[in-house]
Homo-oligomer: A and B are copies of this chain.
């Protein structure tokens, strides 16, 4: 299949540091290439891929000191993709919505994965106007605020099998990985660890917007001898950091659209204690790959019982449900369905014309 992947230009594909969307686009692109498809990746020029790279700017916008205008750069990319559109069987967009006006006027099938949360009034109105746009959700729960949109499927994120190694025997600590922001629930994670008498190691980034929250709510909690605030860590360190943990704590207080770190944990064989919000019950099977809880008391009980979860089983579930190959396979089904629907429409139109 001839496939265009269109990535955001904010980070390179794959990104050097943070950039969840760009990471997933990279895993998907490489898996599709490995499966023998002809993939063209529209991304920043400092990207690295086995696909044909179409560089849409010299370097990722976030790292470009000239502070390029992101709307302009993405508009130019949309134009460029459509000027090549007839060379593709399908175009897969990861850049939100800037392409919608053109996509719905082109005969080449376009599909858009929405990578963020959807409970914003503006987004609902947008998709009322563009209700024919084929969309993919990254969890079923993500769709809740806009059930009426043209959903073609849910495709869970996936990781290359070799990215994280299986860790059979954990050390004696819980891990927290993520941003320090109210919706990520780090204060809850600290409470769980202290109640269990188990050390908590925290790999966390403090965005500028969250600095006040960090100073006022989190910093006073960090003095406890069980709590170790490691700060930001790179991909290389993540394998051991998560893999050696008894459990990953994921006490989110928002409608998490997917939660990549949960499948990173499963890839390591590390079970997850997570709050029942957003995608969580779809990603973590209660009692099998971790525990899905509703409140702090249940979370503490779950953390105490985490040894009951079979780490080998966690890795098995990861390999089956959350590998990059599984993700690529699911997307290929979505692409094929769109191509078939387009052909059916064309055949129907031709039949009407002939009649």
Interface of A toward B, CB cutoff 8 Å: 66, 68-69, 71-73, 75-76, 78-80, 82, 97-98, 100-102, 104-105, 120-123, 125-126, 129-130
Partner of A66, one of B73, B82, B121: B121
Residue of B nearest to A121 (CB): B66
Given A66-B121, A121-B66, verify A100-B71 contact (CB < 8 Å): no
Contact sample, A vs B, 8 pairs, CB 8 Å cutoff = A66-B122, A71-B71, A71-B98, A72-B122, A75-B100, A76-B126, A79-B101, A102-B105
Q: How far is the CA of A73 from the CA of B98 in the complex (A)?
A: 11
A101 contacts B75, C-beta separation under 8 Å: yes
Given A80-B129, A129-B79, A129-B80, verify A97-B122 contact (CB < 8 Å): no
Residue of B nearest to A67 (CB): B122
Q: How far is the CA of A126 from the CA of B80 in the complex (A)?
A: 11
Query: Which residues of chain B come closer than 8 Å to A68, judged between CB atoms?
Result: 122
Least CB distance, A86 to chain B, in whole angstroms: 13
B129 contacts A76, C-beta separation under 8 Å: yes
This chain: how many copies in the complex? 2
A102 contacts B100, C-beta separation under 8 Å: no
Q: How far is the CA of A29 from the CA of B121 in the complex (A)?
A: 32
Question: Taking each of A71, A72, A101, which has the highest tally of chain B beta carbons within 10 Å of its own beta carbon?
Answer: A101
Given A72-B122, A121-B66, verify A79-B100 contact (CB < 8 Å): yes
Query: Which residues of chain B come closer than 8 Å to A100, judged between CB atoms?
Result: 75, 79
Residue of B nearest to A99 (CB): B101
A75 contacts B102, C-beta separation under 8 Å: no
A72 contacts B97, C-beta separation under 8 Å: yes
B66 contacts A78, C-beta separation under 8 Å: no
Query: Which residues of chain B come closer than 8 Å to A129, judged between CB atoms?
Result: 76, 79-80
Residue of B nearest to A69 (CB): B122
Q: How far is the CA of A122 from the CA of B129 in the complex (A)?
A: 30
Query: Which residues of chain B come closer than 8 Å to A121, judged between CB atoms?
Result: 66
Question: Taking each of A75, A100, A129, which has the highest tally of chain B beta carbons within 10 Å of its own beta carbon?
Answer: A75
Q: How far is the CA of A292 from the CA of B122 in the complex (A)?
A: 48
Query: Which residues of chain B come closer than 8 Å to A79, judged between CB atoms?
Result: 100-101, 104, 129-130
Query: Which residues of chain B come closer than 8 Å to A102, judged between CB atoms?
Result: 101-102, 105
